[in-house]
Amino acid sequence: MPQGQKILDKSKVAIQPARTITKVGVIGAGQMGSGIAHVCAAAGYAVALHDLKKELYEKGVETIAGNMSRQIAKGTLTEADKEKALGRITFAEKLEDFGDCDIVIEAATEDEDLKHKIFAAVCPHLKPTAMLASNTSSISITRLAAASDRPEDFIGMHFMNPVPRMELVELIRGIATEDETFATAKTFVESLGKTTAVSEDFPAFIVNRLLLPMINEAVYTLYEGVGTVEMIDKAMKLGAHHPMGPLELADFIGLDTCLSIMQVLYEGLSDSKYRPCPLLVKYVEAGWLGRKTRRGFYDYRGEKPVPTR
């Protein structure tokens, strides 16, 4: 190497976004998908929102409208802005309707086989310059990207729940993700008013690598009789100043999602410390998935939640 010549460290080079995003596609109108559509529309992007049935799309839009009304009540949104944002959201009945989208964000259930099928189905309908992102909270971005026809333009974009309120989005590059794709994704996420944290492509990334083992340990604490549901949550809220107890939080996330993430950690890292608690498995097998089924570690069918153990 000639004297004085320096090796260029690409990680220190500011890569400019390679493309402009004006229209966003979102696959899945559930809790996460509707939240992503909400923040994108509020930020001025046109949004095509897809789900298997129009009634699921309509339910998602109803949720968005309700959340925006709460923002109006808090003074963070005006009625005029709400109407404009809702007007930017349209129903993508078929995957072909994503043809003019600049980025498509998948927000389906945390099931790797399902996500592979979605990417295989949607790719033929996308324009060559369109980016793909997954809102997965735990699954390998490299593996998901390999199920698409554009691994270089694929990135993990993990929004936190509830999307309109939470400030963070984890960005995860797959092994093939190009610098320009990453830069475009980062600029896009920041335009939504979010802050990014960059994670390597390891099981569960950063947030859930730390959060879900804590929740799983709380379930073990319940399973072993160390404390009741009420005492465990009270201990962490008042003793560690957590806004929600771990079992209350598990119900909010969905016990099926918690179990899926723990299984990804356990299988991906081959470490017994990530073994899902048998009681968590039992609750999921019973269909007690938390708030969305009105029973989990708490029973939500009455006027106020009541512990189930």
> Could you list the active site residues?
137, 158, 170, 208
Residues 6+ apart with CB under 8 A from 271: 265
Cis, bond preceding 162 (omega within 30 deg of 0): yes
Report the amino acid identity of residue 81: D
- Per-residue HEC secondary structure of the chain comes to CCCCCCCCCHHHCCCCCCCCCCEEEEECCCHHHHHHHHHHHHCCCEEEEECCCHHHHHHHHHHHHHHHHHHHHHCCCCHHHHHHHHHCEEECCCHHHHCCCCEEEECCCCCHHHHHHHHHHHHHHCCCCCEEEECCCCCCHHHHHHCCCCHHHEEEEEECCCCCCCCEEEEEECCCCCHHHHHHHHHHHHHCCCEEEEECCCCCCCHHHHHHHHHHHHHHHHHCCCCCHHHHHHHHHHHCCCCCCHHHHHHHHCHHHHHHHHHHHHHHHCCHHHCCCHHHHHHHHCCCCEHHHCECCEECCCCCCEECC
